[in-house]
Amino acid sequence: MNQNAVVLLSGGLDSTTVLAIAQDKGFNIHALSFDYGQRNRFELERASAIAEHYKVAQHKTVTIDLRAFGGSSLTSETPVEKNRSMDEIGRGIPATYVPVRNTLFLSYALAWAETLPAYDLFIGVNAVDTSGYPDCRPEFIRAFESLARLATKMGTEENREISVHAPLQELRKADIITRGMSLGVDYAMTNTCYDPDDTGVACGTCDACILRQKGFSEAGYEDPIAYQASRA
Amino acid sequence: MNQNAVVLLSGGLDSTTVLAIAQDKGFNIHALSFDYGQRNRFELERASAIAEHYKVAQHKTVTIDLRAFGGSSLTSETPVEKNRSMDEIGRGIPATYVPVRNTLFLSYALAWAETLPAYDLFIGVNAVDTSGYPDCRPEFIRAFESLARLATKMGTEENREISVHAPLQELRKADIITRGMSLGVDYAMTNTCYDPDDTGVACGTCDACILRQKGFSEAGYEDPIAYQASRA
């Protein structure tokens, strides 16, 4: 029997690529999504469709209550920023930062891992995120591995290592797309936009859309999804 | 203005003592409770009453979905163990272990702390818990402090230390009660039992009741709550 892995799956380009990578490595996939009151409700539908497409062993969606604490334009009524330049996108911590989101996501993944058991967690953090979000950096991932070992029965009584795989850590968007294409990922299934319209069509002008379009362009592939608009 | 602290408040003896200690240190208290599907629904009522009694700045109860993963008699239909000897209670990881519970609780506390901001978190882990639960040990608490710093804006952009205070860490139940009595804690407000009856009266025979009764007895105080039964 293949070893279990818990894969964080948002339904976006990055996490779908990570799922394909984990499956390619031979893991038995347990996909975990979160309903955290994100304004983009299409993400969760895409996550379910992707989990089904990849015939994962299990897919769970856990509801978590991040709006209770406020602090991010992704979960509040603050407008998402549009048409920012690459310089603006790269500078500082963006308004879409959800406090401690990856800490919470990995903690839930670890809770599931402890019951399966699974000694391998997968997360889609990458070089673009790393520049803006503190909980996407390699030192954060390593700190979580240390914590995971101390926090669990499998890490203490069974004395097992727990690995947090971040296979996109050093990759830029174009590299991620190239890697995914080589594994046959169908990016038409994925949603990236922070602010799609009522039918799920991507805006084309939020930071996430801009980075996605730039990634496809640099990788030399055509982005298979439609957009409402291009950058002004 | 006093500095903010986030205090994890279950409504039990330990966390109520911790709240009293944090208030005695002069912190502006933000109390955080969790509805994690615990079979003891009275805990949350007690937590609210205690938060009100201490006139905390804010009290939030966050719903978290631990039953999704199973793995504990506190959140499942497996019966709570009764009438165990002190030897049995002290041996190994108990069935009431909720996977990764403190990791999740502290992660939520950190998310709230990041938005306040608060640089101090308080948790009621103690020497009794430490013997059975991996995520109650001092090395776990230290690992979480390291993670907290790397996971947040306040730890990275502002370069602030984040402290996880576990003031009961080295204390046994009798010491905790003695400390709380010196701060005027009214233990009649607190609930400890894993399995109270329909009106909230403690069973008297689960591990938690046995440890509480022993603690009051050793501290030389009378336990102000009623019990259905004493140990067989």
Q: What is the ipTM of this complex?
A: 0.86
Nearest CB partner across the interface for B93, out of A143, A147, A157: A157
Kindly state the percentage of chain B with pLDDT values over 70: 88
Q: Which of A23-27, B14-18, B72-76, B121-125 is least confident?
A: B72-76
- What mean pLDDT is predicted for residues B59-77? 72
- What mean pLDDT is predicted for residues A140-157? 93
pLDDT of residue B74: 52
Count other C-beta atoms under 10 Å from residue A29's C-beta. Answer: 24
Are A70 and B115 inside 8 Å of each other by CB? yes
List the structure tokens of B70.
């199973």
Burial A127-149 (b: 16+ CB within 10 A, else e): ebbbebbbbbbeebbebbbbbbb
What is the C-alpha separation between B139 and B134, in angstroms, rounded?
Answer: 9
CA A216 to chain centre: 18
- What mean pLDDT is predicted for residues A197-209? 89
Ramachandran region, residue A222 (left: φ > 0; alpha: ψ -120 to 50; beta: rest): beta
Kindly state the percentage of chain A with pLDDT values over 70: 88
B66 contacts on A by Cβ (under 8 Å): 111
Q: Which of B60-74, B87-101, B122-136 has the highest mean pLDDT?
A: B122-136
Q: Tell me the pLDDT band of A130, cut-offs 50, 70 and 90.
A: low
Higher pLDDT: A87 or A189? It is A189
Assess contact for A44 and A61: CB atoms under 8 A.
Answer: yes
Q: Does A147 touch chain B (CB under 8 A)?
A: yes
pLDDT exceeds 60 at position B232: no
Q: Which of A10-14, A111-115, A117-121, B99-103 is least confident?
A: B99-103
List the structure tokens of A149.
């070992």
Burial B4-16 (b: 16+ CB within 10 A, else e): bbbbbbbbbbbbb
pLDDT of residue B171: 94
**Among the listed residues A2, A6, A40, the one whose alpha carbon sits nearest the alpha carbon of residue A123:** A6
What is the C-alpha separation between B207 and B132, in angstroms, rounded?
Answer: 12
HSE (CB half, 13 Å, CA atoms) of A118? 29
At residue B177, what are phi and psi to the nearest 5 degrees?
Answer: -65, -40
pLDDT of residue A68: 73
pLDDT of residue B143: 96
Higher pLDDT: A46 or B73? It is A46
Nearest CB partner across the interface for A150, out of B63, B69, B134: B134
Q: Does B134 touch chain A (CB under 8 A)?
A: yes
Are B152 and A135 inside 8 Å of each other by CB? yes
Q: Which residue has the tokens 């469709």?
A: A49
pLDDT exceeds 90 at position A52: yes
Q: Does A53 touch chain B (CB under 8 A)?
A: no
What is the C-alpha separation between B147 and B162, in angstroms, rounded?
Answer: 9
pLDDT of residue A23: 97
pLDDT exceeds 80 at position A177: yes
Q: Shortest Cα distance from A201 to chain B (angstroms)?
A: 31
Q: Does A146 touch chain B (CB under 8 A)?
A: yes
A155 contacts on B by Cβ (under 8 Å): 134
Residue A65's SS3 state is: coil
B135 contacts on A by Cβ (under 8 Å): 150-152
What is the C-alpha separation between A154 and A163, in angstroms, rounded?
Answer: 12
SS3 per residue for chain B: CCCEEEEECCCCHHHHHHHHHHHHCCCEEEEEEEECCCCCCHHHHHHHHHHHHCCCCEEEEEECCCHHHCCCCCCCCCCCCECCCHHHHHCCCCCCCCCCHHHHHHHHHHHHHHHCCCCEEECCCCHHHHHHCHHHCHHHHHHHHHHHHHHCHHHHCCCCCCEEECCCCCCCHHHHHHHHHHCCCCHHHCCCCCCCCCCCCECCCEHHHHHHHHHHHHHCCCCCCCECCCCC
B107 contacts on A by Cβ (under 8 Å): 100, 103-104, 107
pLDDT exceeds 90 at position B107: yes
> Which chain B residue's Cα is nearest to A34?
B65
Nearest CB partner across the interface for A152, out of B107, B114, B134: B134
Type of residue numbered A43? E
Q: Which of A3-7, A124-128, B75-79 has the highest mean pLDDT?
A: A3-7
Higher pLDDT: B169 or A93? It is B169
Q: Which residue has the tokens 């991010």?
A: A72
pLDDT exceeds 70 at position B79: no
Q: Does A139 touch chain B (CB under 8 A)?
A: yes
| pLDDT tens-digit map of B19-35 | 999 999 999 999 999 98
Q: Tell me the pLDDT band of A30, cut-offs 50, 70 and 90.
A: very high
B115 contacts on A by Cβ (under 8 Å): 69-71, 99
**Among the listed residues B199, B232, B197, B227, the one whose alpha carbon sits nearest the alpha carbon of residue B212:** B227
pLDDT of residue B32: 97
pLDDT exceeds 70 at position B134: yes
pLDDT of residue B63: 87
Q: Shortest Cα distance from A156 to chain B (angstroms)?
A: 7
Nearest CB partner across the interface for A60, out of B68, B99, B157: B68
- Which residues between 86 and 125 in chain A have a beta carbon less than 8 angstroms from any beta carbon of chain B? 92-93, 97, 99-104, 107-108, 110-112, 114-115
Q: Tell me the pLDDT band of A75, cut-offs 50, 70 and 90.
A: low
Higher pLDDT: B81 or B213? It is B213
* Longest CA span, chain B: 57
CATH 3.40.50.620 fits B4-185, yes or no: yes
List the structure tokens of B221.
């105080």
Q: Shortest Cα distance from A191 to chain B (angstroms)?
A: 25
**Among the listed residues A208, A47, A189, A220, the one whose alpha carbon sits nearest the alpha carbon of residue A129:** A208
pLDDT of residue B73: 55
List the structure tokens of A139.
């030192």
Ramachandran region, residue A79 (left: φ > 0; alpha: ψ -120 to 50; beta: rest): beta
| pLDDT tens-digit map of B209-219 | 999 999 999 99
| pLDDT tens-digit map of B154-195 | 998 889 999 999 999 999 999 999 999 999 999 999 988 888
**Among the listed residues A122, A103, A116, the one whose alpha carbon sits nearest the alpha carbon of residue A163:** A122
- State the pTM of this model: 0.89
Q: Does A69 touch chain B (CB under 8 A)?
A: yes
pLDDT of residue A17: 98
Q: Which residues pair with A86 in a beta bridge?
A: none
Are B147 and A104 inside 8 Å of each other by CB? no
Between the alpha carbon of residue B58 and those of residues B50, B51, B61, B118, B169, the distances in Å are: 12, 8, 10, 13, 25
What is the C-alpha separation between B205 and B175, in angstroms, rounded?
Answer: 21
